[in-house]
Amino acid sequence: MFKQSMLPTSLSTSFDFDDVYNAVRTKTIGQEDIMKMCMNIDMEGEKSPFVSIVQMLRLAKCCDTTSNGDKKCYWKVRECLISRWKHLLDLPNTSEEVPFYNALPSEFKVLRDSGGSKRVYIDGVFDMLHIGHIQALEDAVKTVREGALVVGVIGDSDATGYKRKPIIDETERATMLSYLPIVSQVITNAPLVMTEEFITTHNIDIVVHSFSDDADFERQKPFFEVPIRLGIFRRISYHPTNSTSEIIKRCVASVTGNSPTRNANPVRPDCVPVPPIGDEATPDSDIRGCIDDFTESIHACSEQHLGYPYNLDIHTEAQDARLLRYSLNNLGDPWVGSNYGMQTRIFEQRVVEFMVRFFGGTIDMDRSTGDWWGAMTTCGTEGNMNALAHALRLHPDAHVYASRATHYSIEKICRNARAPYHVVDTNEFDEIDYENLREHVTECQHPCIVVCNIGTTMRSGVDDLSKVRKVLEEERVSFFIHCDAALAGMLITPETPVLNMCDSMGMSFHKFLGTSMPCGVVLCKRVATKGNFIDYLHSIDTTVGGSRNGFTPLQVWRSLSRHGLIGLRRLADENLKKAKDVLERFHIHGVTAQLQLTTIVFEKPFHNVIKKWQLACTDTIAHIVVMPSTTMESIESFLSDYTQSVPDSDPDKTSS
């Protein structure tokens, strides 16, 4: 309630708070009277929350500063009136040392607001504010002639999951942005994925963002699907002048005196305690803290990753978090339904059908007929195991032949199956020696299972399936050809479709395509795939695993659907071109290297560089695998480390 003695004489004394609020909205009360009333409100009254007072002041356009609080903000109102609203409001119940913003209760906390004909929105983490950020803000506000720039600050938790844990917390980041004259409003805890509700709530007219390249745009596109659909999205220029990650590296280098190095897994074992055996459970706060620290270390590792063939451009959406609440399990054969209901067989079938057609085969998904059968796997090894199991079922006494560059899983599978295993020579590019294969086959009096490679582990060697097939046909032996295309299956487009020249093949999705969990696919000619009916599954036992991941088919289906065949071909061409550009950077830095497909092989560096960049090495060589997520900035940083590194000891060896 207002103190009656303090009311302006020009106003009636018989009204309540709502009457004043409505009067403000209809502009029947002057600014001076409104400010006088706000200075003399009885702050104990239930009908006079402070936030409503400030809303009245904003509606009457008495100020451009807003905040939330309670009755103890009363004296702050007086201060701001005296200072003509030149500074932001401090919050109640805090000391002068605590940033005022911390105690704001609203989900999207507004620090400051001012008018403008158009409201332009840009979001980001804005960690360690630098010139690149300022240039982006300037470009954003230039998208309209007269407008207010609204800046959304991604919160600490979202930023940690999306990039890394910010150096500067969201309170300080928001406060620094609010002091920039170009910024009209700051919204914290802004969502990564923009919604129509968010746009409407904040009266956003235009949404802008910058991207380092087209691949970066595609990676972040899901965040901006709504403004793109609404036709209010604008892409602004990217300024590579600086980045927060580069500033962090320079800070570390200035302290250590050299390039920063980081162990591939910096979390110490003592930081992850064994779950308690006694009655006392570990507090949730300790569990979250442990996982948060681990998440930060994993993100750091992702920024220094070059040696393993994994595409780290992984797209996740809000749908994924909801689906992870369910036990998705594709029990048994993908094409024979189980009694278990929480499964994703239909998505798995669609993925298999796409891949069969991608590699030139035929399949009738609805009737489970056609030349080929397929299933999703957890990794390339499982694909090889599934294929060789079917091959050995057809040819129980067969001998297995593979080049010395073949993946180690083949020898392991043969050892476990007690199948004779023969190693065939290769050339300098890891391609199988066809004449040496002929020599082996000539001596064999049994059916032959030959494993061919489309992309060997260390050099991305590719075997010519037509030449292998010609050798086997000329030697007049029964044979089964399995093709291991774990990495490079999507990178090559042979004249003759792959499935016309082999009997089975396996490929990984988490490598070139990029998924948050390892997964792949195995394809086999239908004649080779038979299994027993398991009554309690109500399905056929044709796969290596009984319980099979039901989440990865959703991720892969979504990715394949977004790319399509043309998009995948384009992505492959772009990646092959990028690999050539990377090789050129090696040569510019004076580093001798050899390129095959997207794998660059060079002399093995010192241990500190191997550990920092997580390089795969063998004997005297190492390699990096150029993936869609590989950036030229990381290549330059690696080459700087490589050319300036000095000998060091290998702790993994000295500790043993």
Q: Could you tell me the CA-to-CA distances from 422 to 388, 439, 440 in Å, in that order?
A: 15, 11, 8
State which fold the 118-244 domain adopts: Rossmann fold (3.40.50)
pLDDT of residue 241: 59
Question: Residue 501: CB partners within 8 Å, gap ≥ 6?
Answer: 465, 466, 469, 481, 483
Contacts 24+ apart (CB under 8 A), 341-350: 342/550, 343/550, 344/550, 344/551, 344/553, 344/554, 347/553, 347/554, 347/556, 347/557, 348/375, 348/376, 348/553, 350/557
Separation CA 13–CA 309 (nearest Å): 76
Look at 139-148, 158-167, 286-295, 353-362 and tell me which has the smallest mean pLDDT. 158-167
**Residue 80, pLDDT above cutoff 50:** no
Q: Which residues pair with 399 in a beta bridge?
A: 448
pLDDT of residue 553: 96
Mean pLDDT (the chain) is: 79
Separation CA 332–CA 312 (nearest Å): 30
Residue pair 342/328 in contact (Cβ under 8 Å)? The answer is: yes
Q: Does domain 366-562 have CATH number 3.40.1280.10?
A: no
Q: Which residues of 144-160 are buried (b: 16+ CB within 10 A; e: fewer)?
A: beebbbbbbbbbbebbb
Predicted confidence (pLDDT) per residue in 331-381, tens digit? 888 888 888 999 999 999 999 999 999 998 877 655 455 688 999 999 999
pLDDT of residue 19: 56
Predicted confidence (pLDDT) per residue in 183-212, tens digit? 888 898 899 899 999 999 888 999 999 987
Predicted confidence (pLDDT) per residue in 460-506, tens digit? 999 999 999 999 999 999 999 999 998 888 888 777 788 989 999 99
pLDDT above 90 covers a percentage of the chain that reads 43
**Residue 390, pLDDT above cutoff 80:** yes
Q: Does domain 564-654 have CATH number 3.90.1150.10?
A: yes
Residue for token pair 């954003």: 140
pLDDT band per the 50, 70, 90 thresholds, residue 94: very low
Residue of higher predicted confidence among 651 and 500 = 500
Backbone angles phi, psi at 584, to 5 degrees: -65, -40
pLDDT of residue 269: 65
Predicted confidence (pLDDT) per residue in 254-310, tens digit? 655 444 444 555 566 667 888 888 778 888 888 888 888 888 888 888 888 999 999
Q: Which residues pair with 593 in a beta bridge?
A: 602
pLDDT band per the 50, 70, 90 thresholds, residue 2: very low
pLDDT of residue 105: 34
CA dihedral 216, 218, 219, 220 (to 10 degrees): 90
**Residue 392, pLDDT above cutoff 50:** yes
pLDDT of residue 42: 40
Sequence spans of domains, the chain: 4-101, 118-244, 366-562, 564-654
pLDDT of residue 541: 82
The pTM (predicted TM-score) of the whole model is: 0.61
**Average pLDDT score over residue span 172-181:** 85
pLDDT of residue 230: 94
**Residue 87, pLDDT above cutoff 70:** no
pLDDT of residue 295: 83
**Residue 46, pLDDT above cutoff 50:** no
pLDDT of residue 85: 35
**Residue 136, pLDDT above cutoff 80:** yes
Residue of higher predicted confidence among 397 and 148 = 397
Predicted confidence (pLDDT) per residue in 570-629, tens digit? 999 999 999 999 999 999 999 999 999 999 999 999 888 999 999 999 889 999 999 999
Please name the amino acid found at residue 281: A
Separation CA 403–CA 417 (nearest Å): 19
Beta strand 233-236 with 206-210 is parallel
Look at 235-244, 363-372, 380-389, 442-451 and tell me which has the smallest mean pLDDT. 363-372
Residue of higher predicted confidence among 450 and 133 = 450
